[in-house]
Amino acid sequence: MTTFAAVLSARLRDDPGQPLVTFYDDATGERVELSVTTYANWVAKAASLLVEELDLERGDTLRLDLPAHWLGPVFLGAAWTAGLAVTDADDPDVVVCGPDELHRWAARADDLPVLACSLLPMGVRFAEPVPPGVHDVGVEIWSQPDSFIPWDPTTPDDVATAFGGVAVSQQELWSAAAAGTLVPSGGRLLSVANPASPPGIATFAQPLEKSGSLILVTHAERERLEATYATERATARFPA
């Protein structure tokens, strides 16, 4: 498998109802579980928002300025579906941020599209209106279709990530995921790493490629992590 679209299509064909991303926020008590099918629907909506509403094109760059959250893998998938490169640069073509970084990026809303995620349960809108020019993901994503077919499909050579100026193609990303050792085939990886960060990308890519799943936990003490590991029948953890 050399593109995100190919990897996700294989999962949809083989195990559409299996959990793919399970998210725990122990500070709020929130638990969200996305099956492969539900995840694919979210990715399609987010990709449509990026391409059809905001006119992003294959080869553009996306900055994911989110904490550890289930929307991180959603927008990773949306970017890779649309052929966008996920970057940590300060001059992206579009940015997706959470509430803590909202005002920083809102100041640049005249120069680039800014999508803000409330990070409230179920991906709902902000409780208060977002600043002018900012797109509230919790408002705009729900009207997008559950399927997305790019008019300019991605290729294995398209850049998937560009962190620290180092470009990694989709082929390189998924080849590395297939060879990775974070999780065995069909396994469940419990992780506290942000999947939208450079070291955390593999914690999502490897379970997706290996017919496994990610259990993403945030704001949890050691004892709670151990309990979640047992409850969710995890088979590996990151960090180990």
Q: How many domains does the chain have?
A: 1
Percent of the chain at pLDDT > 70 equals: 100
Q: What is the pLDDT of residue 79?
A: 98
Phi, psi angles (nearest 5°) of residue 212? -110, -155
User: How confident is the model over 179-225, as pLDDT tens digits?
Assistant: 999 999 999 999 999 999 998 999 999 999 999 999 999 999 999 99
The Cα 21–Cα 71 span in angstroms is 10
Ranges under pLDDT 50 in the chain: none
Annotate 138-181 with three-state secondary structure.
Answer: HHHCCCCCCCCCCCCCCCCCCEEEEECCEEEEHHHHHHHHHHCC
* Structure confidence at residue 240 (pLDDT): 85
CATH classification at residue 226: 3.40.50.12780
* Residue 39 lies in domain: 4-238
Position 220 scores a pLDDT of 96
Give the CA radius of gyration of the chain. Answer: 17
